[in-house]
Amino acid sequence: MKYLTALTRDLEIARETESKPLGLALKHNDYRALLKTNNTLAVFCCIEEMDSFKDIKEVAERLFKIYSNVKDEAHTISIVPFGHLSSLATNDIEKIKQLLNKLSRSLNNKGVKTNKIEPSTANIFISNIMLFDKMSTVRYGTSEESLKQTLTALIRSFGIKKIFAVLGQIIE
């Protein structure tokens, strides 16, 4: 399992209500809120083909250690499926649900309150401030398909005009 942790001040997870053309930014009525929370340790998780319950238990131990170091700032852990972290991500929704349920239960058993988002390709992330946790490392999947999916998600969230405006600033 690959994961990325981020200490977030404000986090909103939503699901698109209907598919929009890629170049258009989403408006508020284009999505339905699934979770609104603040001061949470967001854990973006990617379940891979070879992951097992044993792997999840080990990840829960590592996440509990990270959470212990930031629990004054984070009141919960928000578990968010995010398949773009690996080119080995499974597309077996039942397996993803089972392993994320195990992760949530393992953290709950340690006294940590968790929020868990059901996996869906229509989930979008809205966050005002995101501070990445210095204690974790990420091995980001660099396949062309992973890049395509990530860029698609960014374009859907911000719109093509904003993406090109930011790219123009970076290139200058």
pTM: 0.66
Question: Over 80: is that where the pLDDT of 158 sits?
Answer: no
pLDDT digits (tens, 9 = 90+) for 4-45: 888 887 777 766 666 555 444 555 555 666 777 888 898 988
CB distance 96 to 103 below 8 Å:
no
Question: Over 70: is that where the pLDDT of 82 sits?
Answer: yes
Q: Which residue has the tokens 């928000």?
A: 78
Where helices occur in the chain by DSSP H, the ranges are 53-70, 93-109, 144-158, 160-171
- pLDDT score for 113: 95
DSSP 75: S
Domain ranges in the chain?
2-171
CB distance 11 to 127 below 8 Å:
yes
CATH number of the domain located at residue range(s) 2-171 in this protein = 3.50.80.10
SS3 state at 131: strand
pLDDT digits (tens, 9 = 90+) for 112-121: 999 988 887 5
